[in-house]
Amino acid sequence: MSHPVPDLTQAASPTRRRVLDAALALFSEQGYFNTAIPHIVKRSGVSIGSIYHHFGDKQGIARALYADLLEGMDGALAAICHQIPDARGQALAVVEYLFEQAERAPLATAFMLSTRHREFLPDEPPICSSQPFNRMRDIVSRGIARGEMHDGDPAVLAAALFGGPLRLVQLRLDHILPRPLPTYLVEAWEAAWLAVCNTRG
């Protein structure tokens, strides 16, 4: 039932990890284009030769990082959808996960949610069409089908349900919100749920 899958990708290499960690920090703090390879060399302690050996080019670093984080996020959402039956519970768990993750791993969350990946990864599909975001839309579609949420365009309802919480994450990552996100969870969720819940229920 559990999935301990031991890194099918070759992410286990220690140098690879060090480069990805350094790149994540630099990309999140100053942006992809403000980060030169020598910066990554300094911060990671890995030589430029090794970096190019592992990743091919600069885009390759961002690509590997992006795939890595997408996979982690999708795994979390998959687990949620698997363990919780009702759409409301799933959506709440997703928001809770996003809030906790933004505090635990702000750099990773910022790189996932607050970055225009297309500018430096022209071949990647937009993040809205990625697995995790598809799952969010699926939750909403199922919520409508099950009568938990009122009828309507799934895209609009998904925006209404997750738009507020995602905006709060953004504000927190930009250091606008003073308190940790989980302290806003109850209030933010109540408002979000009111926007989509079925009043006939």
Partner DNA sequence: GTCTATACAGTGATAGAC
Partner DNA sequence: GTCTATCACTGTATAGAC
Q: How many CB atoms lie within 10 A of CB 108?
A: 19
Tell me: does residue 36 bind a copy of itself (CB under 8 A): no
Tell me: does residue 35 bind DNA (CB under 7 A): yes
- The Cα–Cα gap between 133 and 178 comes to 27
Give the residue with the Cβ less far from a copy of itself, 49 or 201. 201
Give the residue with the Cβ less far from a copy of itself, 56 or 152. 152
Q: How far is the CB of 189 from a copy of itself (least distance, A)?
A: 10
- The Cα–Cα gap between 171 and 85 comes to 31
Task: State residue 175 phi and psi, 5-degree precision.
Answer: 65, 30
Q: How far is the CB of 46 from DNA (least distance, A)?
A: 5
Q: What angle do CA 140, 142, 124 make, to 5 degrees?
A: 55
Q: Is 197 helix (H, G, I), strand (E, B) or coil?
A: strand
Residues 42-81 that bind DNA (CB under 7 A): 45-50, 52-54, 56-59
Q: Where do contacts with a copy of itself occur on this chain (CB under 8 A)?
A: 30-31, 33-34, 114-116, 119, 126, 128-129, 152-153, 155-157, 159-168, 171, 174, 176-177, 184, 187-188, 191-192, 194-196
